[in-house]
Amino acid sequence: MKLNRKKLIHMCVERGWSLYRLALEAGVDPSHLYRILGGKRGAGVNTVFKIAQVLGCSPLDLMEEEDEEENGEAAGHEILRDQ
């Protein structure tokens, strides 16, 4: 799973937290979180749930949309338009 780095950082800034503090609050090793956000590792389901719980959001809110990088449009919008 790939986390939306910009959104995650924005949520930390809103709380006045560093990524290091987020990792500690979520019970995730800080170096593991840095590797995930750097694209060197994928995020496991447990990690995503821990981070979402600490930030008070849905795990889906933290995920990067597949089409987002390619064309700037969130995935799933095509489906909604066709219905």
Q: CA–CA separation, 70 vs 28, rounded Å?
A: 30
What's the pLDDT tens digit per position in 3-30?
899 999 999 999 999 999 999 999 999 9
**For position 81, what pLDDT does the model report?**
41
Query: What is the tally of structural domains in the chain?
Result: 1
Q: CA–CA separation, 47 vs 29, rounded Å?
A: 10
User: Is residue 82 scored above 80 in pLDDT?
Assistant: no
Phi, psi of 3 (to 5 degrees): -80, 150
CATH number at residue 51: 1.10.260.40
What's the pLDDT tens digit per position in 32-61?
999 999 989 989 999 999 999 999 999 999
Helix (H, G, I), strand (E, B), or coil: what is residue 57? coil
What's the pLDDT tens digit per position in 59-81?
999 998 765 444 444 444 343 44
Give the domain range for residue 76.
5-82
